[in-house]
Structure 1
Amino acid sequence: MAEKYRYGEYGYEEGKDGSSPDGRVVNASSGRPGGYDDRDVFGHEEGHDIKYKTLGWPMVAVLMIAEIVSNGMLSLPSSLAVVGIVPGLILIIFLGVFATYTSWLLVKFKMRHPEVHNMGDAGKILFGPIGREVLAFGTIVFAVFATGGQLLAGQIAISSLSNGTICPLLGTGIYAIFTLIMSFPRTLDHMTWVSLASCVSILVAGIVGMVGAGLHPTPGHEISIVQNSTFFEAFISITNPVFAYAGHFMFFIMVSEMKRPQDAMKAAYTLQGFATTYYAVFAAVTYAFIGNGVLSPSFSSLEPKWQKAAYGAALFNFWIAGSLYAHTASKLCFVRFFRNSKHLHSHTVVGWGTWAALVVIFNGAAFVLAVGVPIFNYLIGIAASLFAAWFTYGIAGMFWLHDSYHYEHGVRTWKRKWFQTTLAVLTVWLVR
């Protein structure tokens, strides 16, 4: 007899026999015939050479932290300098809480739609074929830009450590080779332990940075409670904390490789709790000791000895975060090409050849952008406002509105769950 599922916090979940809200007995987390694995993007993996669904929630939390808590946090103290410490901290904490809520919406959507592997798949459900292409393209563009951003961070760190004796092109090239190598594994489980080291790396780097700022504060520095800024300055500063939380575009891919997707929110709670607390403390402490003259990245404002120590500790994190972004772009295309084919789960020449080509192409594109576009930093900010804000916040509200309408009782559900409906609409409206 087929195992039954119940309608719970994350859609239809594994558990006791139960019925859907309209009385239909279901045996799938999606409310459709068949179990979760029957419609999951990787399906039943017994007997396959390459198994994707191997991650537990602690390792997913590690991957999320390694990917999100990275060089983006180094721009947060400068955001406080632009808007003031009070508005800046309120914004950082608000975005962290907001990201936790939208994480919950994404997990609910994934549980109801096991076939969703990435934002492109979700876009097809919401908006049809055009939506699939637009959101898939946005995911790839943002992943490549984010990889390039990590290469630039690595280049800045290498330049600091070498006292500027290594030319930027060479430093970025060396770093790009490391990123290329680490993004090569086909499955995320092969990147978990290095991601754990990456988490330790950025944690230690932040602590070193705060200690360095405290021991060598900027003489005569000024701190602003509230700062008057131009629209352009405020816009750029606001994209910094958004970028610091911009990891939701990878959530579907990570959850797809979990042994128990139902545990995904445990990973999300761990991520957001750590990130929000760490961001607020790091930004406030660094800004308090350096003041309005703090640079972005903030480690560059430290006394030379401490600057080298902080950048040296962070190097490994920049490397791994960049490889995770490049891996995401490659994985999206690879699954799109070979979904339901033998090349997805088997060691074939076509499969490995395509995977290698994708990894090289996306890492190469990130390298070219990082070294060849003088205004690349501004382009990253624009990409964050266009894609990261929507992927992390706005589109999550659309997921809830879509599923509550089509899988429950339409407008009646919206009226009955008026508070949730209001939150979902506000989520879309705030990012529009």
Structure 2
Amino acid sequence: MEKPQDFPKSLAVLTAISAFLFICPPAIGFHYLGQYSTAPAFGSLGPERFRKGSFAFVIVPTTVIAVIYTNVSAKFIYFRVMGKSRHAHSNTVIGWGVWFAVIVVVWVLAFIFAEVIPSMGDFLSLLGAAFDSFFGFIFFAVAYYHLYRGKVWNGLYRSIMTVIHIFVMIVGLFLLGPGLYAAVKAIIADYSGATNPAFSCADLSI
């Protein structure tokens, strides 16, 4: 960035906006809907026209996010497969063929997961427990340890920060362990009820 000293300001603004968007709307929704809320939440809107209108606004950013995530995942796999081969950075048939194959595999796997897990809420719980536990908690605790290795107990402030990051690590491990177990149990419970079987052609629209 042009002025690196502005990074803390940008980070503070991003954190404030993210905290508001991820806390306030869900809290309001659960306050009024409780256990009857759906996933996604706008499926709980009363009249059908409101639900369809909400989906119209959501479908485009959802598609964009899916493409971005696919591209990131595919690039990671692609460069692991190709290594230092000249095809990795050249317009060759092999290079484009491998890239196309990786993209197809990623989308097919995404489709399978979307079909096998019947509830979007449980699907998000599974993803959150498996991945967000690391990227949102464990990663920061590990990074803190590597940044201040050998100095984690130097002074009162550093000791307090160390205790906080130990707590963050514990929370992350709890989400990864019991959280992942609970998500899997919820998916199993879905199939014990009146859930349509995987890969069915039933109408699942809200």
Q: TM bucket by the smaller chain?
A: 0.5 to 0.7
Equivalent of 2:65, from 313, 317, 321? 321
Task: Indicate the larger mover: 380-389 or 367-376.
Answer: 367-376
Aligned-partner residue type, residue 172 of structure 2 = V
Q: CA RMSD in A?
A: 3.2
Q: Give distance in 2, aligned partners of 1:395 and 1:424.
A: 10
Aligned-partner residue type, residue 24 of structure 2 = V
After TM superposition, give the deviation of residue 261 of structure 1 in Å.
9.5
Residue identity (%): 21
SS of alignment partner, residue 415 of structure 1: coil
Give matches, 1:105-144, under 5 Å. Answer: none
After TM superposition, give the deviation of residue 283 of structure 1 in Å.
2.3
Which residue is equivalent to 1:394? 138
SS of alignment partner, residue 414 of structure 1: coil
Give matches, 1:344-355, under 5 Å. Answer: 344-355=88-99
Q: Give distance in 2, aligned partners of 1:300 and 1:376.
A: 12
SS of alignment partner, residue 148 of structure 2: helix
Residue 281 (structure 1) aligned with residue 19 (structure 2): no
Equivalent of 1:361, from 102, 105, 110? 105
Distance 1:274 1:369, change over 3 A: same
After TM superposition, give the deviation of residue 401 of structure 1 in Å.
0.9
Q: Spell out, residue by residue over 1:27-50, the C-alpha distance to the aligned partner (whole angstroms, 9 max, x if none).
A: xxxxxxxxxxxxxxxxxxxxxxxx
Aligned-partner residue type, residue 419 of structure 1 = I
Give matches, 1:419-430, under 5 Å. Answer: 419-430=160-171
- Could you list the runs of 5+ residues in structure 1 that have no partner in the other structure? 1-55, 58-259
Q: Give distance in 2, aligned partners of 1:328 and 1:355.
A: 12
Task: Indicate the larger mover: 366-375 or 319-328.
Answer: 366-375
Residue 378 (structure 1) aligned with residue 119 (structure 2): no
- Could you list the runs of 5+ residues in structure 2 that have no partner in the other structure? 174-206
After TM superposition, give the deviation of residue 402 of structure 1 in Å.
2.6
Structure with the bigger percentage of helix = 2
Which residue is equivalent to 1:207? none
Conserved in 1, the CA contact under 8 Å of 2:42 and 2:51? Answer: yes
After TM superposition, give the deviation of residue 265 of structure 1 in Å.
6.4
Give matches, 1:204-283, under 5 Å. Answer: 268-283=11-26
Q: Give distance in 1, aligned partners of 2:23 and 2:123.
A: 25
After TM superposition, give the deviation of residue 375 of structure 1 in Å.
6.1
After TM superposition, give the deviation of residue 390 of structure 1 in Å.
1.8
TM-score by length of 1: 0.34
Distance 1:340 1:421, change over 3 A: farther
TM-score by length of 2: 0.66
Conserved in 1, the CA contact under 8 Å of 2:40 and 2:121? Answer: no
Q: Which has the higher contact order (CA 8 A, sep 6+)?
A: 1
Conserved in 2, the CA contact under 8 Å of 1:369 and 1:376? Answer: no
Q: Give distance in 1, aligned partners of 2:43 and 2:57.
A: 14
Q: Give distance in 2, aligned partners of 1:309 and 1:282.
A: 18
Q: Spell out, residue by residue over 1:64-102, the C-alpha distance to the aligned partner (whole angstroms, 9 max, x if none).
A: xxxxxxxxxxxxxxxxxxxxxxxxxxxxxxxxxxxxxxx
After TM superposition, give the deviation of residue 289 of structure 1 in Å.
4.8
Aligned-partner residue type, residue 97 of structure 2 = G
Which residue is equivalent to 2:38? 295
Q: Spell out, residue by residue over 1:123-147, the C-alpha distance to the aligned partner (whole angstroms, 9 max, x if none).
A: xxxxxxxxxxxxxxxxxxxxxxxxx
Q: Give distance in 1, aligned partners of 2:32 and 2:80.
A: 49
After TM superposition, give the deviation of residue 363 of structure 1 in Å.
0.6
Q: Give distance in 1, aligned partners of 2:24 and 2:118.
A: 32
